[in-house]
Amino acid sequence: MKTFKVTKTKTQTFKPTNIKSLTEFNGAIAAGVNGKVLTKLPVESIEAKPQVRTVIENIDELAESMKSGQLIPITVIKGENNKYVVLQGERRWLAAKKAGLETVEAIVVDAPVSDSERIFGQLTENIQRDNMKLQDLIQSIRQLIRNGFNQTEIAARLGKDRTYISRIAALASSKEEVLKLIADCAVNDAQTAQILNNICEKSTNIAKDLEACKDKDGLISRGSAQAVLDRLQKIVPQKPKKVVAFEDRLKKKDFP
């Protein structure tokens, strides 16, 4: 009896790292990304509205790289007066403008059904890169909680541990001095910010101890903040001596 060997068909996996330009990307998946076809839009036909990410850095560097080609498309929704609104990729759009490009590669999608869905979508893009500013993250998580989502739901949607989301949410009620350091981008780590809150609770001179956490550039690392907290925890407050009335001392003959 003759036997035959059945060879299993190999499934080819799409690897974005192998795509060097959006032209190749568009050709490789002509049917579109998630059902949406890539298109080129005039840069001037796009506008931005408030995003979860308010601090945008390194635009000049990205603008230079985009002159050689745009790797990742931006996501937009249709706005009014033949305009499009950036949903994801505002930094790339700003870099395209800075580079003097006339068009930008984009995917046009339906508008989010709610403000919460918009926040989730923008957070998902930014939070996985670990470069989102702590202040923006705190405000976004706070808004989602106000919109009725609990921390477990938020963690599941963002692919983060619930403890992480809980720590971020708790920072919304930080000490005033710590909130200012977060707003000034002196600290961008949730655990470090919590250490600073602990310093404020134990310190008798908050301004001096927080200043001691900074490096020469005015930034605060987790290690430097922990060192200050450790120092404060080693200081044992002296108990005030009990004042004994002269009459009591006289009875006990406790006087010079």
- Does residue 56 carry a pLDDT above 70? yes
pLDDT at 157 over 60: yes
Assign domain 16-108 to a CATH class.
Answer: alpha beta
pLDDT at 6 over 50: no
Mean pLDDT of the chain: 79
The pLDDT value given to residue 27? 45
Identify the band that residue 89 occupies on the pLDDT scale cut at 50, 70 and 90.
confident
pLDDT value of residue 21: 47
pLDDT mean over 37-54: 81
The whole-number pLDDT of residue 28 equals 41
What proportion of the chain, given as a percentage, has pLDDT over 70? 73
Q: Which comes out higher in pLDDT, residue 154 or 18?
A: 154
pLDDT value for 231: 92
Output the pLDDT for position 7: 45
Which tens digits make up the pLDDT trace of 229-254?
Answer: 999 988 755 566 665 555 555 555 55
Query: What are the structural domain ranges in the chain?
Result: 16-108, 114-173, 174-239
pLDDT tier, 19 (very low <50, low <70, confident <90, very high otherwise): very low
Q: Is the pLDDT higher at 34 or at 70?
A: 70
CATH architecture of 114-173: Orthogonal Bundle (1.10)
The whole-number pLDDT of residue 122 equals 79
Q: What pLDDT is attached to residue 222?
A: 94
Confidence grade of residue 195 (pLDDT, cut at 50, 70, 90): very high
Between the CA of residue 201 and those of 114, 124, 137, 177, 194, what are the distances in Å?
39, 34, 24, 11, 11
